[in-house]
Structure formats: structure tokens, C-alpha cells
Amino acid sequence: MKELGLYLGCVIPTEQYGYEMSIREVLPKFDIELVDLEESTCCGAPLRNVNMFTTMYLSARNMALCEKKGIDLYAPCPICHLGLTEAKESLEENPELKDKINSKLEEEDLQYEGSTELYHTLDLLHDEIGLDEIEDQVEEPLDDLTFAAHYGCNTIRPNDLDRPDDSENPQKLEELMETIGIGTEDYPEKLDCCGGQVISDHNESALTKAGEKIEAVQDQGFDGLSTICPWGHRMLDSKQDSAADTIGESLDLPVMYYIQLLGVAMGIEQSRLGLELNLSPVDNLEAIESIEEAE
């Protein structure tokens, strides 16, 4: 049994409940014990735009919470994962900054050493748990489906920091899909941005980015799109209707977190995977129960 601190960040625990539900449901079946970090806060990454020092302090604080419990940290959000990775590397290179941050953490009886390993959903499933182990637990392979992969910019870039997959040609999400029976292939817009990080101040442009990506996937005949980023999922699923209005097209592409797809393939009760909360028409897929059936 591997214990991991479940570091949810901001977007997941305040609105992307389907991601959190499926994580809590699926991972323990792989012998992972998720330990709640009751006192965690924002990772600080969105505040890079305001003040980098604040970002470092918040990231270090969240890692220090794990250190105190003596466990590694699992951040299902790639933006958090990047923020924490960047803080970890910066503090390793800059002992002076580390001391300064530790003097602030001391006020809460916390200390940051830098001993916490960081995981994202992608490397946790693909590299730690492994494809064989996943395959063993598949009860109902999703053989009839072809899905496109959406990694999220921060999952793979920047390439000077340790990321869960390759920046130019990421394939782990595709391999994970194939492991549960889903067909997939590369498409030209695969690495395009969803616009999520400018949604609050440039709403229309952000929704245009999302809409164009959804349209491209839809036009290429995929049955759906698989996500591993709560910011991307919010744009591509939760806001799919607004994205459609913004670009003046009709969009009806099922969008699901990979871990929801995995849960379905493992035969987990669908109501436990938060599938009612996907606002894209996921029940167009035969394998997915309609809301009435799930009740």
C-alpha cells in the first residue's frame, strides 16, 4: 500500500467534483491510500502572474504539509504539478530563498526540506501503477470507442522542468487509453491550448480556443475526448455549450476524465465516478448510463 497526499489545488475541490470523485474511487483499487491534506491551500501557480515569491511560499507550504506526514504528494492538476515542480527545483538551486521561505513556514511549525516526490495522474497511472496492473483490473474493455487525447499544456511543458510526459510527442495518455480498450490516434490539434488560463479576463478568446479544439476533434470523427487536467476539462466539457455559442457551431463531443473512463472499464458503479457532472453529452456513448439509469 502506497500512501500519497492528495493535493487537490483550487479548481478540483471547488468545482471539478467528477475528477475528485473518480480519483477517490479508482486509485484505492490499485493499492494506493489517498491521505487528505486538510490544511492545504492554492499551489500558488496562478499567482505567478502577481508575485513569484508568493507562489514559492505557497508551493513550499503544501509540500511541507506532506513532509510533515512523511508522504509523497499527488497533484491531479497539471498546473499545480508544474507550480510545485518549479518551486521544488528553484528552492534546491537557491538555498537562500529556501531559508527565507522556511522562516515564514516556521510560524506555522512547518518546514520545507525538498524530500517530497511529486506525482500527477498521468505518471502515477502509467509509470507507478503501470499498464499491466491496469489491464488486470479491466472488466469491461471499452472496445468500441475511439477517443482523442487532451494533455493540457502544463502536463508536458516547459521542457526544462521535469514533466509527466514528453513535450513534443506525448503518448502516455494514448497508451493508457489503449490499455482499457479504447482506440486512439494523433491529430493535428492535439497539443493546442484550451485557453483556460485566460478565461477570467479574456472570456471570448478563451472560449474560442476551446471551441476550435472541440470542433476539430469532433470533425475528425472521434467518439470523445479524454482529459487529465481540470482547467482543460472545465473548458472542453463544463463550458462546451458556451464554447459552441462563441464559435457559432454546434458541438456535442463527449468529454471525460481518463480516470472516469478507467473507472467505467473497471466496472465501478458509474454514479460513484461523478459522471452526472460531465456537461457534454457523455451518455451518447453506449457504455455510459444516462442520468436516469444512474439514479
Partner 1 sequence: MSLIDLTSMAEPDEEEQEKIEETLEGLKEDIPDLCYQCGKCTSGCEAFILLELEPHSIMGKSKAGFIDELVNSDEIWTCMQCFKCQERCPQDLSPVRVIFALKNLAVAAGKEIPSGYQKMLQSVLGNGLIQQPKEVLNRANETRKREDLDLPPVPEPEDMDKVQQILMKATQEKLR
**What residues make contact with partner 1 under the rule CB under 8 A?**
8, 10-11, 13-15, 17, 20-21, 24, 36-42, 46-54, 56-58, 61, 97, 100, 104, 107-108, 153-154, 157-160, 167-168, 191-193, 195-202, 205-206, 208-209, 238, 274, 276-279, 281-283, 291
Nearest-approach distance from CB 183 to partner 1, in angstroms = 25
Smallest gap, in angstroms, from Cβ of residue 102 to partner 1? 12
Q: Which three cell numbers stand for residue 115?
A: 524530500
Please report, for residues 14, 26, 34, 57, the alpha-carbon distance to residue 66 in angstroms, rounded to integers and kept in the order given: 21, 22, 12, 15
Shortest distance (Å) from residue 201 CB to partner 1: 4
Query: Smaller CB distance to partner 1: residue 36 or 143?
Result: 36
The Cβ-side half-sphere exposure at 165, using a 13 Å CA radius, reads 28
**d(C-alpha 182, C-alpha 145), whole Å:** 5
Q: Shortest gap between Cβ of 133 and partner 1 (angstroms)?
A: 26
Q: Annotate 21-49 with three-state secondary structure.
A: HHHHHHHHHHCEEEEECCCCCCCCHHHHH
Give whichever of 53 and 187 is closer to partner 1, judged by the CB atom.
53
Phi, psi of 145 (to 5 degrees): -105, 145
We find the least distance from the C-beta atom of residue 282 to partner 1, in angstroms, to be 8
**Rounded distance between C-alpha atoms, residue 206 and residue 183, angstroms:** 29
Closest to 4 measured CA to CA, from 88, 62, 73: 73
The smaller minimum CB distance to partner 1, of residues 14 and 220, is found at 14
Q: How far is the CB of 180 from partner 1 (least distance, A)?
A: 23
Residue 44 or 172: the one with the smaller Cβ distance to partner 1 is 44
Q: Between 164 and 274, whose beta carbon lies closer to partner 1? A: 274
State in angstroms the smallest separation of the CB of 290 from partner 1.
9
Q: Which is nearer to partner 1, 8 or 124 (CB)?
A: 8
Contact 257, 226 (CB under 8 A): yes
Q: Are 225 and 254 in contact (CB under 8 A)?
A: yes
The full DSSP string for 85-125 is: HHHHHHHHH-HHHHHHHHHHHGGGT----S---EE-HHHII
Q: How far apart are CA 232 and CA 275, in angstroms?
A: 17
Closer to partner 1 by CB, 13 or 114: give it. Answer: 13
